Amino acid sequence: MLKLIPGLKGEGKTKSLIALVNKASEEETGNVICIEHGNTLTFNIPYSVRLVQLGGVYTTDFIKGFLTGMHEGNYDITHIFVDGIHKMLKNATPHEIESFFDWCNQFGESQGIRFTMTLNTDADAASPEVRKYF
């Protein structure tokens, strides 16, 4: 239940994510969450979507705990969007990132949550373990 939006800087990943967030806010019956690195989406996201702004570099374990905690506090979450996951996990190794994506997919399937994340990477150069989520 993980979908990655790959692309290099300036290729429209965030614009695609905003369109998906707007569509989800209209169509989904549960709560929609959008997590961003920084604070640039404030006026682009509908008020019905919970916007969370994170502005640091984190470990994969921290993000897992954060996502799990959000779910524990609100079992009605149906979709979590993350803009700039590569910025949040800047110091993580490729293996840690691949394991994190696998965890998100498994967690989403077990809890009924869809994840959509933007990833600053060339789609053709991505590893097969990451490419399976495109």
Is residue 1 over pLDDT 90? yes
At residue 10, the pLDDT reads 94
For the cut 90, the answer to whether the pLDDT of residue 109 exceeds it is yes
* Contact of 80 with 114, CB cutoff 8 Å: yes
Asked if 67 and 35 count as a contact pair (C-beta separation under 8 A), the reply is no
Question: Residue 44 corresponds to which tokens in the numbers above?
Answer: 């682009």
Residues contacting 52, CB < 8 A, separation 6+:
33, 34, 35, 36, 70
**Structural domains in the chain?**
2-131 (3.40.50.300)
The answer on pLDDT for 56 being more than 90 is no
C-alpha angle 32-7-24 in degrees, rounded to nearest 5: 20
Q: Is 111 helix (H, G, I), strand (E, B) or coil?
A: helix
Give the chain's mean pLDDT.
96
In 3-state terms, what secondary structure has residue 87? Answer: helix
Whether 130 has a pLDDT exceeding 90, the answer reads yes
The closest of 133, 26, 29, 27 to 82, measured between CA atoms, is: 133
